[in-house]
Chains A and B, each alone.
Chain A
Amino acid sequence: MRLRIRFAKLGKVRFTSHRDVARIWERALRKAALPVAYSEGFSPRPKLSFGLALSTGFESHAEYLDIQLKEQDGGEAAPWDRTTADDMARRLDEALPVGIDVLAVAPTDRGGDSLQQAVVSCTWAIDIDDLDTEQAAEQVARLLAAEQIVVERERKGRIVCEDIRHQVLALDVSEATETGVRLLADLGTQPRALRPEELLAAMDPSLEARSVCRMHQWMLQEDARVEPLTVDAVPAPLAEVRA
């Protein structure tokens, strides 16, 4: 059976790297004694696949992980229900550090696209200091009005010019914060993800994010956008779940 897990990365743990998070999960799965399938060979690795990497320092309410579980004897998977999911989420939460919180667990189809291939865009909450909502709104409008936004990006060690306008799928001023403003942005991830800091640089090179949080990842299903796994109650952005 293949399980898909959605988890948050909030607070102090946001300073761990993508690699660190992978190792944290490997240990947590052993602690929670989940029957994870292992690769064959001299140094067997657990069969895990992570979705899009999150930059070190960014928070998230929408990280994903697929886990291949060992086949049960007889090939029959145990029936899956709400209790199984809750119980598994609780066991994993206990094994994970504060700030990495399981939001949803569910079986997923075997095969199909990997998470990295399937996800087409992400919604980001970007907090900027020393900018009020009016100024922000002006900047947003100017950016959205442009037909082309050409930026320099590094690709395979070379600097290339690329138009990123089509990757800015939506951009809004969400609300005022204590020290500035929060933007909400839907940014494309194919063929290569547009990063929130690249968006800011295109708006105004002097802007710096105080914090960045991935709110959603989206895939396409018959032209509708859906999340790889939904959470019953979607948490408020930057909830106070801090370490």
Chain B
Amino acid sequence: MSSLWPELERVLGEVQKPARYIGCEDGMIVPTHRPDKAAWLLIYPDTYEVGLPNQGLQILYEIINERPDAVAERAYAPWTDMADVLRSNGLPLFSLDSHRPASDFDILAFNLSSELVYTNLLECLDLAGVPLHADERTSDDALVIIGGHCAYNPEPLADFVDAAVLGDGEEVVSEITEVVRDWKASGRGSRHDVLRELSRLDGVYLPSMYDAEYDGDTLVAVTPRMDGVPAVVEKRTIADLADWPYPKNQLVPLTEVVHDRLNVEVFRGCTRGCRFCQAGMITRPVRERPAEQVRTMVADGLRRTGYDEVALTSLSTADFSGIEEVVAAAVSDDACGQVSVSLPSLRVDAFTVGIAAEIQRARRTGLTFAPEAGTWRMRQVINKLINEEDLYGAVESAFSQGWRRVKLYFLTGLPTETDEDTLAILELARRCIEVGRKYHSSPTVTVSLGGFVPKPFTPFQWFGQNTEVELRRKIGLLRDEIRNGGRTYNGVKLKWHDARASVVEGLFSRGDRRLGPVIEDVWRNGGVFQEWSEHFDIALWEDAMVRQGLSLDSYVYRHRTEHEVLPWDHLSAGLHRDFLWQDWRDALDELGLEDCRWIPCYDCGACTGYGIEHVVASATPPAGGSQGTGQGTDHRNGADTAVPVTLTARPRVTVGTGS
């Protein structure tokens, strides 16, 4: 079908920010569709501003378009005003690259990075004209595939998606392309056949080929329905990032987006081993990009895009071997003019701030650190091994080099957390202010507080999330302390994440197939863009749960037991279940675990299971800072000071109302 642009052009005057829908980015590809090519529509189910910079999507966009037998275009969730305009004009979801209707594509592939966008996925399917339920689709309908971190527990979406892809997408998109291309060439025979072919690919999970069995309310097994379908689907991991220098032509949008700068991924994976961090656990092992390739990608990227800022991205960029040389090369490349380099994830130590000071040529407004917890005890539980000296050193370094604002990220609702741990957050902030006063008259420290949500494939996957009431109580504790503290906390600002949103994230993070109707119910009642506070509505979710006869208590707040079947047990991120369980026990014993990048392997499974290993240029830990390198780790068994977590059922909690 031809372009919808003439129709779209007539209605774009009616919506806010029409530039969201025009495409035209530098780096955009307008591919030629042909019947012998598999056509992918890559969809980020959030706004253009949030979705455009997504590197994962851009990488696949290029890899697919480089193939002679495939095309890829992009779409983002239309904002509510645009969705209304599309519906009232009888227009479908469309691609931005050539403004084709979604029905021109064979595959609708969604990148899911938050549970709160699940209803947007339904909204996009509906606007695309694809039946919501996978079992209602025919061979004329597109295949619906999901990827991204949320695909590691796709069970709540089992009703709606045809396939979930686990892990790195670089290789598997080509394998999927070949299956779909051949299916098209053979005249798009039975849908079951093409799905069956997809199920033979490593890393591709077809929910419809598995049965979930329950004993009363308890999930007892998820098992293949037929022979030849794997009992456990393993994730995909690319062995060497050097083979994948993508995106080669990062998209440069015409309108403002988040992270509006050149982004170069310097490594993937992280083995610091923070126990709350799903991203770290599921992306093991560490795979560094060769420093030379980083330099080329930075220099070429700046010249091509005209950006004056480059971010070196990873889960902890200061850990990159030879980080100093790489950033020095980036800032001194004269051809690129005045360039500022940013490290989106600073490690908490003075050494890292020193690098930041050298490279952040732009105004020094604020620096962000993530100590995550207020006491050393708590940080041992979560394995974020930052000494107070590291933090004060980092903060001192920042304030002394011109920064006036420091932002500190913390989690609350962590396993074994006591009020003492929570309140210690403010003590840290207060002492950071004290440090700052040595250099500025009114330094500020912003404490940003998130509610902890346990995620699959982490040692905390067995932990019962704090209730909404409890999270709010903890936030209240800090607010009261600041309010009653008089001048003690001058300069400390507190921000917090909506505890109700954490409840919904927690519900789907560890949910199972019975939650499909809940997502559909919320969507049917208008609940889209739930990750946006102006649209988020907890009542929609609570009402839907009641209508489905399901309880938040059992899904969100309940501790799981050692041998309980978890909804994602038939999927694998490479991590052995017994490794995770041992790490959970170690957490409760307040035992830190060193980074396996620089010491012998613990056999967590992420390398050993797939015959791969770390790709790290330097055999020694980075200079400066004790964080996670084992220096200063307290190896004594801390049982005498441990706060017990009851792993059996807790007293019932009341949720939601009356707080």
Contact = CB atoms under 8 A, between A and B. Distances in A.
Contacts of B303: 31
B13 A57 contact: yes
B254 A97 contact: yes
Contact of A42 (B19, B23, B256, B362): B362
Contacts of B305: 27, 31
B254 A16 contact: yes
A98 B24 contact: yes
B251 to A, nearest CB: 12
B424 interface: no
Contact of A12 (B13, B24, B304, B362): B24
Given A13-B24, A43-B362, A24 B18 contact: no
B338 A38 contact: yes
A56 B338 CA distance: 31
A202 B24 CA distance: 36
A99 interface: yes
B337 interface: yes
B82 to A, nearest CB: 12
A23 B24 contact: no
Given A12-B24, A13-B24, A43-B363, A20 B306 contact: no
A130 to B, nearest CB: 13
A19 B252 CA distance: 15
Pick from A16, A42, A44 the residue with the most CB of B within 10 Å.
A16
A56 B306 contact: no
B306 A12 contact: no
Interface in A94-139: 95, 97-99
A77 interface: no
A13 B12 CA distance: 12
Nearest to A100: B254
Interface in B1-33: 5, 9-10, 12-13, 18-19, 21-24, 26
Contacts of A42: 362-364
B19 A31 contact: no
B26 A97 contact: yes
Contacts of A210: 10
Contacts of A38: 338
A43 B252 CA distance: 22
A14 B23 CA distance: 12
Interface in B510-539: none
Contacts of A95: 306
B618 interface: no
A95 B9 CA distance: 25
Contacts of B9: 12
Given A24-B254, A57-B18, A243-B24, 6 more contacts: A12-B5, A16-B22, A20-B256, A26-B306, A30-B306, A99-B24
9 contacts: A12-B22, A15-B12, A15-B19, A23-B256, A24-B254, A42-B363, A43-B363, A57-B13, A98-B24
Closest 4 CB pairs of A and B: A27-B306, A31-B306, A15-B18, A43-B363
Interface of B: 5, 9-10, 12-13, 18-19, 21-24, 26, 252, 254-256, 303-308, 337-338, 362-364
Interface of A: 12-13, 15-17, 19-20, 23-24, 26-31, 38, 42-44, 56-57, 95, 97-99, 210, 243
